[in-house]
Chain A
């Protein structure tokens, strides 16, 4: 059985090329955008880094979440390609470090010509005599809370990502049918879900993304970002599985397993739409100025293109293309939709983050694309390196037999 993965030269070169583009773009961005005197361009420099680093951190963390959730459910369906989710999860620390650095730099160093932090306005404006609303939210939106929460969250995510992989590799050398590690990981999975529910599903997106437009709020917002990152995280796993299968690895993965991933992509695209619409409709219906300010900026302003593209790519395309059973068992349609879903949710994060600080001066241009390519390069490079370090078949996993005969 072909259970070892060796990085093909082409993949390594592509990833290094993408990283090089990212680095060059970053240097060009420092020179052209950050060193300039245009406050909008300087904000754009940081916002794009914020957008991509948060996006990649969240979609890679989904791998840890799906591992923990399936472990708690004794799910065998994931075991056939569990090493892929482990490899993605074990590299969360990389993106979390970048995201943490970017967030802290924005909070502590970014100021415009008037000394205002235009990205996180609450950093400088929540003072008596400046902004009453932000002052009222100061108990939650302040530097101590932000920094402490960000560091704890990213630290825990990085730890759990590496922990699950280490335990899975330790199981390989454990005595046959030994259940001690299984139950240990089981308990830790429950703990991780608690951590994840309190970070990604509630406070994290409030602090990192929603507080960019701090005058507006929505209690659904974290669920909505969770749905967004979950569906693109599953698409990311699917792309890796398809790639490894094309390389002749992962022989245990059959159409039944692909069908499962397709179901997740389809179901959570609908779930995302459900949350997106729940947030939209209530505010549209109530029509209170405090609340509609968020939607008006996105739907009727310069961002309407992204707003509707977001809806079409993330809802209309999945529901029409991967609703039927044969298309969920077809590698081409799945890969095609996975790439579109990742792009669509990247746009979704874009329109969550950019509109308030940038206003009408938004571009998707050399800088946005270059930084995205850089992050994609880091992802490909690090995950493929991690994949080579162990067998792609989780030998001695207690659910291995069950996953081989799995029927979706």
Chain B
């Protein structure tokens, strides 16, 4: 991923955060993300996020599960090793429905969980930059992406006007990485330099 510069604002009230998000979006800054200690209802709409396509992926995973189950069981019972069970036909579809159902659910559940982890960039052993230590405790933290042409002072002053309790400029890895926190050190050196 890329190393970027962020202006970070920490709020201590949900009711300040929502107008702040609207104001920041109106004024043309690009919001990288908002980190909250709990799920805040309506924040995704306020940030202008589209509804996820995760369920379409889930449908496709489910179809994969269904076809795997029906294909595999029918291959066993009809072609590889046909056995007469109690006079039932070899292609005994009703008897396979429970297994097919289970595999559909399994594929959809596991596939959607992994896809959700990928979309949200969370996974065991995967690291992301933490903008504010209290973002998982009692603060709502908003990170704004800056580029070379944006004035840092103007951004910080603007964030102050939106009601932020704390503001800072941070240079950090924008995405996730696999490995150790060591990768963070160079940015801390960079931040110290700034």
Chain A residues packing against B (C-beta within 8 Å): 277, 280-281, 284-285, 287, 323-325, 407
Are B97 and A285 in contact, with the CB atoms below 8 A? no
Q: Chain A CB within 10 Å — which of B56, B59, B87, B94 has the most?
A: B94
**B95 proximal to A (CB < 8 A):** yes
Chain A at the B interface: SS class: helix
Closest Cβ of chain A: how far from B108's Cβ, in Å? 12
Contact of A323 among B59, B86, B87, B98 (CB under 8 A): B59
Q: Of all chain B residues, which has the CB nearest A274?
A: B101
Name the B residues within 8 Å of A277 (CB-CB).
94, 97
Are B94 and A324 in contact, with the CB atoms below 8 A? no
Closest Cβ of chain B: how far from A279's Cβ, in Å? 11
Are B97 and A281 in contact, with the CB atoms below 8 A? yes
Cα A324 to Cα B52 with chains together (Å): 12
Contact of A287 among B51, B86, B98 (CB under 8 A): B86
Known: A284-B94, A324-B55, A324-B56. 10 other contacts (CB 8 A): A277-B94, A277-B97, A280-B94, A281-B95, A281-B97, A281-B98, A285-B88, A285-B95, A325-B51, A325-B55
Closest Cβ of chain A: how far from B189's Cβ, in Å? 46
Cα A325 to Cα B50 with chains together (Å): 13
Name the A residues within 8 Å of B88 (CB-CB).
285
Name the A residues within 8 Å of B41 (CB-CB).
407
Closest Cβ of chain A: how far from B182's Cβ, in Å? 43
Q: Of all chain B residues, which has the CB nearest A283?
A: B94
Name the B residues within 8 Å of A285 (CB-CB).
88, 94-95
Closest Cβ of chain A: how far from B89's Cβ, in Å? 11
Closest Cβ of chain B: how far from A182's Cβ, in Å? 26
Residues of chain B in range 85-109 having any CB-CB distance to chain A below 8 Å: 86-88, 94-95, 97-98
Chain B residues packing against A (C-beta within 8 Å): 41, 51, 55-56, 59, 86-88, 94-95, 97-98
Closest Cβ of chain B: how far from A324's Cβ, in Å? 7
Cα A407 to Cα B95 with chains together (Å): 40
Cα A284 to Cα B41 with chains together (Å): 48
Closest Cβ of chain A: how far from B146's Cβ, in Å? 34
Cα A325 to Cα B59 with chains together (Å): 12
Cα A287 to Cα B51 with chains together (Å): 48
Q: Of all chain B residues, which has the CB nearest A286?
A: B86
Q: Which 6 A-B pairs have the closest CB atoms?
A: A281-B94, A284-B94, A285-B95, A277-B97, A281-B97, A280-B94
Cα A285 to Cα B56 with chains together (Å): 35
Cα A287 to Cα B95 with chains together (Å): 12
Cα A387 to Cα B123 with chains together (Å): 55
Q: Of all chain A residues, which has the CB nearest B51?
A: A325
Q: Of all chain A residues, which has the CB nearest B85?
A: A285
Closest Cβ of chain A: how far from B163's Cβ, in Å? 25
Cα A287 to Cα B87 with chains together (Å): 10
Cα A324 to Cα B88 with chains together (Å): 37
Cα A23 to Cα B95 with chains together (Å): 47
Name the B residues within 8 Å of A287 (CB-CB).
86-87
Provide a sorted-by-A list of 19 A–B residue pairs whose CB atoms are within 8 angstroms: A277-B94, A277-B97, A280-B94, A281-B94, A281-B95, A281-B97, A281-B98, A284-B94, A285-B88, A285-B94, A285-B95, A287-B86, A287-B87, A323-B59, A324-B55, A324-B56, A325-B51, A325-B55, A407-B41
Q: Of all chain B residues, which has the CB nearest A281?
A: B94
Cα A407 to Cα B59 with chains together (Å): 24
Name the A residues within 8 Å of B97 (CB-CB).
277, 281
Closest Cβ of chain A: how far from B77's Cβ, in Å? 15
Cα A285 to Cα B97 with chains together (Å): 12
Cα A284 to Cα B55 with chains together (Å): 34
Name the A residues within 8 Å of B59 (CB-CB).
323
Name the B residues within 8 Å of A407 (CB-CB).
41
Closest Cβ of chain B: how far from A82's Cβ, in Å? 24
Cα A280 to Cα B95 with chains together (Å): 10
Cα A281 to Cα B98 with chains together (Å): 10
Cα A71 to Cα B2 with chains together (Å): 53
Name the A residues within 8 Å of B87 (CB-CB).
287
Closest Cβ of chain A: how far from B126's Cβ, in Å? 29
Cα A280 to Cα B94 with chains together (Å): 9
Name the B residues within 8 Å of A325 (CB-CB).
51, 55
Cα A281 to Cα B95 with chains together (Å): 7
Cα A285 to Cα B94 with chains together (Å): 8
Q: Of all chain A residues, which has the CB nearest B56?
A: A324
Cα A287 to Cα B89 with chains together (Å): 13
Cα A407 to Cα B42 with chains together (Å): 10
Name the A residues within 8 Å of B94 (CB-CB).
277, 280-281, 284-285
Name the A residues within 8 Å of B86 (CB-CB).
287
Cα A98 to Cα B97 with chains together (Å): 41
Cα A281 to Cα B93 with chains together (Å): 10
Cα A379 to Cα B88 with chains together (Å): 47
Cα A323 to Cα B59 with chains together (Å): 10
Closest Cβ of chain B: how far from A406's Cβ, in Å? 12
Name the A residues within 8 Å of B56 (CB-CB).
324
Cα A325 to Cα B51 with chains together (Å): 10
